[in-house]
Structure 1
Amino acid sequence: MADLKYYDVILKPIVTEKSMSTMGEKKYTFSVHPEATKNQIKEAVEKMFTGAKVEKVNTINMDGKTRRRGNIEGKTSKVKKAIVQLTEDSAEIEIFSGL
């Protein structure tokens, strides 16, 4: 298990049509470090965004896709996504408010 600090856990927010539609239910989607646990993700969201209280965290491990370039075959890197559900009395996350 990697010794991750809270600012290393969340890599970037994922902004897609599906993730934007779930924001009304206070669900936010992030790309996270592949070795991060649910407890580390919860702690990172609560520390990085003031007023955010996490109810639950769902994680998705996605394997890399096989890509070809001519005769050479390779794989893209693995990705881990986290869908964070905030509590009802929690504050909104500011980075998504202007979208």
Structure 2
Amino acid sequence: MSNDRLLQVLLAPIVSEKSTFIADKNQQVAFRVLQDATKPEIKAAVELLFKVQVESVQVLNTKGKVKRFGRFIGRRRNERKAYVSLKPGQEIDFAQEVK
């Protein structure tokens, strides 16, 4: 796995009420990832970017809903989410500045 690929695997952290509850309860962090990202790639990317130790990775694929936008029928995009479990004592702080 090249560093260029690992830097592109994680798209964005998911910051919602559910993800903060999971972070507090299970020491997990949720990320939106590329559609073709694998569990070992996600683990390596999180360890590279945030300098933490990852225990496990769970991946979830969600299909985009068909929705109406005015008189047009559209479709939301498909998403792939990764729930990353951190080893005890590890923590990711999104508020800190990345150098």
For the superposition of Structure 1 and Structure 2, which TM-score range results when normalised by the shorter chain?
0.7 to 0.9
- Displacement, 1:82? 0.5
Q: How many residues align?
A: 92
Amino acid at match of 2:36: E
Amino acid at match of 1:48: L
Task: Decide whether aligned partners of structure 1 residues 68 and 55 sit closer, same or farther in structure 2, where only a CA change above 3 A counts.
Answer: same
- 1:50-79 Cα deviation digits (max 9, x unpaired): 1x1111101110111101134432211111
TM-score by length of 1: 0.83
Task: Decide whether aligned partners of structure 1 residues 96 and 84 sit closer, same or farther in structure 2, where only a CA change above 3 A counts.
Answer: farther
Aligned-pair identity (%): 37
Amino acid at match of 2:49: M
Task: Decide whether aligned partners of structure 1 residues 96 and 31 sit closer, same or farther in structure 2, where only a CA change above 3 A counts.
Answer: farther
Which runs of structure 2 are paired with 1:75-94 in the superposition (5 Å)? 75-89=75-89, 91-94=90-93
Amino acid at match of 2:16: T
Amino acid at match of 1:53: Q
- 1:1-34 Cα deviation digits (max 9, x unpaired): xxx7111111111111111012123100011111
Q: Which of structure 1's runs of 4+ aligned residues deviate more than 6 A? A: none
The CA distance in 2 between the partners of 1:95 and 1:69, in whole Å, is: 33
Output the aligned Cα RMSD.
1.7
* Unaligned residue ranges in structure 1 (runs of 5+): none
* Unaligned residue ranges in structure 2 (runs of 5+): none
- Displacement, 1:87? 0.9
Task: Decide whether aligned partners of structure 1 residues 27 and 96 sit closer, same or farther in structure 2, where only a CA change above 3 A counts.
Answer: farther
TM-score by length of 2: 0.83
Query: Which secondary structure does the structure 2 equivalent of 1:83 belong to?
Result: strand
